[in-house]
Amino acid sequence: MPFTHTPHLPLLLWTLFTLPLTIWDTAYILLRPHSFPGGKWHAPFFLSMEPWASTDHLYGPEAWGASEGFTAAQAVVNVLEVGMYTGYVWGVWRGGGLGGGARWRIGKRRIQGKMAAGAVVLGFAAGVVTATKTGLYCRFFFSLRAWCCFCFLLLMRVVMREVFSGYVYTGHNELHPLLTLWGFMNALYFLASGYMIGAFGTEIYRGLLAGEGDKED
């Protein structure tokens, strides 16, 4: 029995949201210091990055002046992440075009075979990369309780990074921008990547079990 995958609307919406955002984020980092305020590439391309850089100095001139390598390393990982998200969308699109040219519909049309397997593996890997950029913690998740614990641990890891560094990059903030911008975006990425790991990991797990059942038959 061939492996099948039915794309879920939340996963596709998240992919389409984060793909251009990650490309933009990577461009900002790799073009430093020209992407900073006053730089030749800052306006009009990176004006919207200014509030984030003023909240998290990892993105600002402070980290650049201190030769902080974490931000540049994140940009390298971003390139891998963009490739995986692009591969998933391409796999879903190409897989949906098979079978007599019928149009693919979200949640209604399955893709199957090698295209489906490749798309699920890329989607799972992309979720892991997104999560581990800051969390450095990953495993398979098949229950809501475990998934919630995972997201909590990831969020605590980011908070602890700031606590144990003496809030070197975020300690200058008032509580309002720290929670509404920095905290909200990190929580959003943790929840979305955790959902991806849970959804794709479950599909992979069930596919392996189904393969084991076919062997026994």
Residues 134-183: pLDDT tens digits?
A: 553 233 334 444 555 555 555 555 555 555 655 555 656 666 666 666 66
End-to-end CA distance of the chain: 12
* CA dist list (Å): 135 to 85, 159, 204: 19, 10, 22
The whole-model pTM stands at 0.71
Q: What are phi and psi of 4, to 5 degrees?
A: -125, 155
Q: pLDDT tens digit string along 19-66?
A: 899 899 999 999 999 999 999 999 989 999 998 888 888 889 988 998
Q: At what angle do helices 70-96 and 9-30 cross, to 10 degrees?
A: 140
CA 67, 72, 73, 78: dihedral to nearest 10 degrees? 170
Which structural domain range is residue 75 located in? 4-216
Concatenating the DSSP letter of every residue in 173-189 gives S-HHHIIIIIIHHHHHH
Q: How far apart are CA 186 and CA 177, in angstroms?
A: 13
Q: Is the pLDDT of residue 214 over 60?
A: no
* Number of structural domains found in the chain: 1
- The single-letter DSSP state of residue 5 is E
Q: How far apart are CA 203 and CA 27, in angstroms?
A: 33
- The single-letter DSSP state of residue 4 is E
Burial class (CB in 10 A: 0-12, 13-18, 19+), 161: middle
Question: Which helix (DSSP H) or strand (DSSP E) does residue 112 occupy?
Answer: strand 111-112
Helix, strand, coil percent content, the chain, rounded in steps of 5: 70, 0, 30
Q: How far apart are CA 67 and CA 75, in angstroms?
A: 15
Q: pLDDT tens digit string along 106-148?
A: 555 678 788 888 888 888 888 888 877 655 323 333 444 455 5
Q: How far apart are CA 120 and CA 177, in angstroms?
A: 36
Burial class (CB in 10 A: 0-12, 13-18, 19+), 217: exposed
pLDDT (mean) for 85-102: 69
- Name the 3-class secondary structure at 101: coil
Residue-level pLDDT at 42: 93
Residue-level pLDDT at 134: 54
